[in-house]
Each structure stands twice: as C-alpha cells, then as structure tokens.
Structure 1
Amino acid sequence: MSHNTSSASRRITRVVRGMPASDGAGVRLTRIIGTPELDAVDPFLMLDEFRSDQADDYLAGFPEHPHRGFETVTYMLAGRMRHRDNQGNSGLLGPGSVQWMTAGRGIVHSEMPEQADGLMWGFQLWVNLPAAEKMTTPRYLDIAAERIAAVTPAPGVTVRVIAGRVDDAEGPVRGVVTDPVYFDVAFEPGAQWCASVPDGHAGFVYVFDGAMEVAADDGARSVSRGELGVLSDGADVALASRGGGRCLLVAGRPLGEPVARHGPFVMNTRDELIQAVEDYQAGRF
C-alpha cells in the first residue's frame, strides 16, 4: 500500500489497550485513557468505551454525580441515554448524537439508559479546561445525529465531523477552548486518507472496529479493535485500512498545566480540589 506522506506526518508513538472498569452505579466499560498505563494525553484526561447488549451491564446507569473543572463529551453509537442536571436541563442522547458538556465551576447531573434491552454503545471523553476557564459557567451542546455532517474526503472513507474541519465541513461543536478535532472515521477495505490535524495539537486514534494503519516516514504501525495509538506531533495523519475499520481521531491543544484530580473534580492544585469538595458538600454547585 503506497502512501504519499510528507516529513510532517504524525506517527504512532505507542499503542495501548483499554482495561475493564466499572463506573456510575455499576456500568461495565473499558477505560482506555485514565489508566496506570496511559494516564492522559493532554488535554484529554479519560476515554471510556461502553458496549454491551446485556442490560445488567448498563441499566444502573450513572445516577446523580458532580463535575468541576473540565468537559465531558458523550458520543452514542447505539442505544439511548437520558441526561438530567440540577440546572433543570434534560436531554435524550440517541444513536449518532453527541453531548459536549462544559462542567466549569460545577454541575450535578445524571446519565441514565432509556432502554431496557438491546445494544448500548458509545464513548465518554474527558477534556481538561485551562486554569483560567475552570470556574466558567456550565454549558451544554446537545447535538442530534442529523446535525453532524458525514463527508467522503477520499474513496471508501466516510468521516462524521463532530469537531474540527474536513474539507468544507465544519463540526457543530464550536467555541471550545482546546480547539478540538473529533472525527468518527470509517474505512472500506483498502481505503486510505490523509487527515489534517492542527500543528501542536496532541492526539490519538482509537480503533473500535476492524483495524487500520498509521503510516509515517519510519514505516506504518497497525492499530486494532480496542487499541489506542498515541500520535506524535506533526501536521497530517496518514490512515489506511486493508480489511476495513472504524476509529475515532481526536486531537486538542495541550494545556501544559499541573493536573490535580480527585474523582469527578479536576483542578490545578490540591487546595482547589479541597474547595471543590467543600463547595459540592455545601450545595454550591
């Protein structure tokens, strides 16, 4: 398979597999970022994939819980999740939809499955906020599936553009401080595509179906279902798939700030964490 890659092509610096985990009231999931093996890819603090057609794995959901100091991004592939918060917001995430939530200074919300059986499949990504934005006003971007453009930038390649830009298509997620790229990329067998990612952004490829390769000057590395490839710096990402596959391609501007985290709170210092716990317990969220 030939690739026209310039010297600026990003390569895979390491490949990690996710670990089984449980969160909320016992939702079984795979944690890919936020583990002893891969603590973070600044500005990304956590990536979970939940996928099960066993109701017992997900029905308990994520009852009321607080967040402060970062953003949560939920992307549903299958199933339905009802979201509610203490500001009176409520929304239903269906297949193909995205919720980009900026917790900012504090929010208390729940995410509960709105189905009793069938496949529940999706991702949750945590995106850090810089110190200057940690106490910002909470906000939600609830994006229905039909608002996300699906483009074909190369033969046999379909990209759902959630954040960032592919050719003339701009994702509906805008105004996020880390200037993120979030693409859902599907390849037919033998397809290839050179994705452009802003210089200086840190990023990763997470394969959730099939397998693909990332080619650079020092050769290609393959990433298979359930594996995440951390990307080096550079301009473009040369992706190809011999047998077909699907992946998330995600990148954002690194913050380079100290991270103090305790459960659902992510701040810069231990004192700010203590304050977050106190504020939450005093009902100030």
Structure 2
Amino acid sequence: MKSIVKIIQAQPTQDGAGVKLFRSLGTHLLPELNPFLMLDEIRADEASDYLAGFPSHPHRGFETVTIMLDGKMRHRDSRGNEGVIESGGVQWMTAGSGIVHSEMPEQSEGRLWGFQLWVNLPAEHKMMSPRYQDIKAAEIPVVNFPGAQVRVMAGTVHNHTGPVTDIVTRPTLLDVHLDGELNLTLPPRTLLYVYEGALTIGEQTARAQQLAVLSEESSLTMTGNAKALVFGADVLNEPIARHGPFVMNTREQLMRAFEDYQSGQFG
C-alpha cells in the first residue's frame, strides 16, 4: 500500500503580473519530482489579488495543466488557440518546441480558485509541435464510490477514462471529494494535494494546502473528509536544465531556447 513519504506545506508567493498564489511544488522544499515540476494554487476572493493575471509569456519543453474550481480564465496563444477555462474545466497545453500564451481572468469580481501543474516532457518529445486540449466540466466523467466522488480528468478509474488524451507521460489526474474511505490503483510516481479538509493515508494526515509525496506501491487507501487533487505519471529519469519558462535537458538546449524565443521563432 502507498504511504506518505513527505509532506510539503504550500508557500505564499506571486507570479505573472503579481497574482497571489500558493506554491507547493517548485520551491526549495521540493524543486521537482520528475515529471512534475511545479504546482500552484490560486485562491483569491479579492479581485486585486488576481486581476493583473498572466500576460503573454513563453514556454518550451514541458506541459502546463490548468484546473479551475471556481471562476474563469481566458487563454490565448501564438498558435491561434483561444478559450475560456470555466469552473470545473481543465486545460492541458503542450508547449513542446515553443509557444507564447497568456492567461487572464475573465471576471472583475468574485472568487478565482484553481491550480496550475507543470509536467515535464521526455527528451525525445521536448521539441514536439505545441498543442492544446480544452476540456469542459461536463466532459469529465464522475465516478461515485460509497466514500467518495472522483472526477477523472486523465487516466482510468473503474473503466471510466478521462478526456485528456495522448499525453506521453501517461498521466492520471483526479479531483477527489472524500467522505469516508477510498481505494485506488495509481502510478508509482504519484502526488496528492489537499485543498480542503484533511485525509489520512496509513499513519499520516495531510491537511489543506499540503502536498503529499507518496511511495511507489500501486494501491492507495485514504480516509477522511477532504477534497484533493491526485496526480501521477511515468517517472522520467533524465537530467533537467531549467530556467524560468524553459525546461530542457542540457544547458546548451536551454540557451538555445532563449535565443529562439528572442529571435521570434516560437509558435
């Protein structure tokens, strides 16, 4: 059975044009756990904390996953994609060889609550063509258990397969609403982020705004009253060369990414 190896408390920070958020993966406490590179939670009731948004910025060599619980964000990118991510929706963007995009609030008041997860690409796929999957809440299957409800965004739970497809790291991405006990089969590399309440795995308890790194066994049993993101994928045993919005395998590739972006070759 999976157990909790480490618990990380999310740290307050700012990103974009000053958006206030909480970062649990991608800090000095846990810089990355390949293929997972970063996890941010945005939870703000005051518009001044999020209105500046995330103006146009580049990415290369990895994927961004945006999950909205409450509110609306508009995505635009240099490939001509545009769409609004609304409550319950998810967007999986593969930056690949390079893309420039913006993510801006589509609201001027009310709560904005969601997450962004960064997922690495294997070396052989880092320069793949960029692409974009925009999934509405109604397209996400919901699996009901006696002690939980599970929204399956990617991966398969009890023969229900999520709508995010053709991702090379074969991810599992679940939104779990727990009210009792739940048993799941998950990839060896799995993390869990509690965003409401508390849950127990084995002898340890993870609480709201805590990231739990899980051991490599396949079976997970959790109990409690909580809401949590569960995400797993294939392990990438490859070097990481990372700076800002670019994630490559070598310093030379990283420098090339900056050069290509500055010369207008992205998107």
Equivalent-residue separation in structure 2 for 1:166 and 1:136 (angstroms): 29
Equivalent-residue separation in structure 2 for 1:74 and 1:82 (angstroms): 11
The match for 1:164 among 131, 138, 155 is 155
Equivalent-residue separation in structure 2 for 1:120 and 1:195 (angstroms): 30
State the SS of the aligned residue for 2:97. Answer: coil
Q: Deviations over 1:182-215 (max 9, x none)?
A: 1000012xx10111113xx311111000000112
Does 2:115 match 1:117? no
Equivalent-residue separation in structure 2 for 1:235 and 1:187 (angstroms): 19
Q: CA deviation at 1:233?
A: 0.5
Asked if the contact 1:41–1:203 (Cα under 8 Å) also holds between the matched residues in 2, the reply is no
Which stretch of structure 1 is more off in the superposition, 154-163 or 104-113? 154-163
The match for 1:28 among 3, 20, 33 is 20
Does 2:169 match 1:178? yes
The match for 2:189 among 182, 193, 202 is 202
Q: How many pairs does the alignment contain?
A: 266
Equivalent-residue separation in structure 2 for 1:272 and 1:87 (angstroms): 22
AA aligned opposite 1:64: S
Q: Deviations over 1:31-51 (max 9, x none)?
A: 110000011121100000000
The match for 2:231 among 244, 250, 253 is 250
Q: Counterpart in 1 of 2:136?
A: 144
Equivalent-residue separation in structure 1 for 2:57 and 2:88 (angstroms): 24
AA aligned opposite 1:222: T
AA aligned opposite 2:182: W
Equivalent-residue separation in structure 1 for 2:169 and 2:220 (angstroms): 19
Q: CA deviation at 1:21?
A: 1.0
Does 2:262 match 1:263? no
Q: CA deviation at 1:97?
A: 0.3
Does 2:261 match 1:280? yes
AA aligned opposite 2:185: S
Asked if the contact 1:34–1:46 (Cα under 8 Å) also holds between the matched residues in 2, the reply is yes
Equivalent-residue separation in structure 1 for 2:33 and 2:152 (angstroms): 21
Equivalent-residue separation in structure 1 for 2:158 and 2:234 (angstroms): 20
Divergent runs of 4+, >6 A = none
Which ranges of structure 2 fall in alignment gaps of 5 or more residues?
none
Q: Note the 1:50-61 alignment, pairs <5 A.
A: 50-61=42-53
Equivalent-residue separation in structure 2 for 1:100 and 1:261 (angstroms): 20
Does 2:222 match 1:230? no
Q: Counterpart in 2 of 1:211?
A: 198
The match for 1:76 among 49, 68, 73 is 68
Does 2:36 match 1:47? no
Q: Deviations over 1:87-116 (max 9, x none)?
A: 111000000000000000000000000000
Equivalent-residue separation in structure 2 for 1:155 and 1:185 (angstroms): 13
AA aligned opposite 2:251: R
Does 2:218 match 1:240? no
Q: Counterpart in 1 of 2:182?
A: 193
State the SS of the aligned residue for 2:260. Answer: helix
Q: Counterpart in 1 of 2:3?
A: 11
Equivalent-residue separation in structure 2 for 1:103 and 1:49 (angstroms): 21
State the SS of the aligned residue for 2:220. Answer: strand
Identity of aligned residues (%): 52
Equivalent-residue separation in structure 2 for 1:186 and 1:280 (angstroms): 41
Equivalent-residue separation in structure 1 for 2:34 and 2:2 (angstroms): 16
Equivalent-residue separation in structure 1 for 2:232 and 2:81 (angstroms): 28
Q: Counterpart in 2 of 1:98?
A: 90
Equivalent-residue separation in structure 2 for 1:156 and 1:262 (angstroms): 42
Equivalent-residue separation in structure 1 for 2:50 and 2:217 (angstroms): 39
Equivalent-residue separation in structure 2 for 1:239 and 1:174 (angstroms): 27
> What is the TM-score normalised by the length of structure 2?
0.98
State the SS of the aligned residue for 2:256. Answer: helix
Asked if the contact 1:81–1:92 (Cα under 8 Å) also holds between the matched residues in 2, the reply is yes
Q: Deviations over 1:7-43 (max 9, x none)?
A: xx11100111011111100000001100000111211
State the SS of the aligned residue for 1:276. Answer: helix
Equivalent-residue separation in structure 2 for 1:50 and 1:207 (angstroms): 13
